[in-house]
Structure 1
């Protein structure tokens, strides 16, 4: 198996279906930091749900090798167009993939983005009513509902008072610093803020989290059309984990949800 790259998504041919992937096929998979779905580490490890899924699947079959290609939220489309990878996990079709040569699986995850502010006396959910007028901190390259899913930093900075970073942790720290001229609202995926509050219960009383979502999204696996593996094959590879409940348990451990049509299988 791979020494320097992480093997990926393999299941035995004896499952009773043809995978459509020949032996010793290497699949390049784009991965960027998107906790708790995927946390990219410097030593090429991938943690979070994706890391757990990879560990679960790599033990099943050693004939298919998945090579991890580190990208970033801002760079992932350019890297795809440059041919650096062929598959990317946990993406919404609305996040810039509409005109690109990809085929998508059915939704395999759901999550949403919420607004997080410092909890102060007299502050309630109405604080988020006009969030576009607040000083916002966000992740460069992420797509946000309030901004019409645009990822053009220059355009966003012209339209909003917005600060960009590459870390939810940094953005939450900016909120805790109570510098309203710089950061009044952070936009965080709900699964991440839930994970943060479980790990840092002292912050429960410090943050006001919106009941209203900035956006709710269904995430899929994208595969390059004409690439070494198809979206349909990826669905079949996941099927045994879905049917025996292992996939749903993995998803729920990371504060995420599976779509209702998968949960009922």
Structure 2
């Protein structure tokens, strides 16, 4: 369901300086865009750290959306996208894919009621669902065409995990009985609203587990390996792991022991 973050290497601003345009869509807590147009979430922290580690590299934010990110890619508006699963529509394109650099999963959420348990999520075709438009979900087979999904499921679309959780809590079965929320976002929500531990029913099994990579256009201005080389100092000094853990996210299994900058 990357954030995600998109990176375009443009012409050097000065002889020894490269400006990289970073496009971001709403994918909390991985990425987002603040009121002033700045990147937020893990991505926002990471860009600041990368600029400190590489003084000749600067970043500029470009705001895209979950659906529009593919059109922007095909139009050549960016070269590299961070925090994307290859399964989210990228394997059909001419792309260069890095090793996974981030991991998370998505869970089903419903309202707790007497006699209701995790089996409530067994047949989603019989439930009213609220999901985020443009996100890829396991239960849909990663289909993102809203019109196709509306023919198969009783589904409503939004652009906010917060709104989706509130719809569940409002107990309006005709609108939303089930929401799909990332583990990292859900943990941050429950830390801020501990009363919801007794309000929300959370599935035992995930909708999907994803391992997120850096994906680049073949022949583009910046390759996935080049972005891994920028990331390498933050991996070596432990700072990248600290940022990932700060946002309740995870590193893929074996990432630290097996990481070698290209």
TM over 0.5: yes
Alignment-derived partner of residue 204 in structure 2: 211
1:148 and 2:141 aligned = yes
Distance 2:85 2:125 in 1: 23
DSSP-derived class of the 1:59 partner: helix
Distance 2:172 2:109 in 1: 14
Contact kept? 1:28, 1:84, Cα under 8 Å: no
Alignment-derived partner of residue 131 in structure 2: 138
- Number of equivalenced pairs: 247
How much does 1:229 deviate? 1.1
Contact kept? 1:36, 1:191, Cα under 8 Å: yes
Give the counterpart of 1:100 among 75, 93, 103.
Answer: 93
How much does 1:25 deviate? 2.8
1:192 and 2:182 aligned = no
Which consecutive residues of structure 1, in runs of 5 or more, have no partner in the other structure?
1-7, 11-21
Where has structure 1 moved over 3 Å in runs of 4 or more? none
1:243 and 2:233 aligned = no
Alignment-derived partner of residue 34 in structure 1: 27
**TM-score with structure 1 length normalisation?**
0.89
Give the aligned CA root-mean-square deviation in angstroms: 1.8
Contact kept? 1:9, 1:54, Cα under 8 Å: no
1:125 and 2:118 aligned = yes
1:89 and 2:82 aligned = yes
Distance 1:9 1:151 in 2: 25
Distance 1:234 1:59 in 2: 15
How much does 1:9 deviate? 11
Contact kept? 1:28, 1:66, Cα under 8 Å: yes
Which consecutive residues of structure 2, in runs of 5 or more, have no partner in the other structure?
1-6, 10-14
**TM-score with structure 2 length normalisation?**
0.90
Equivalences for 1:160-239 in 2 at 5 Å? 160-239=153-232
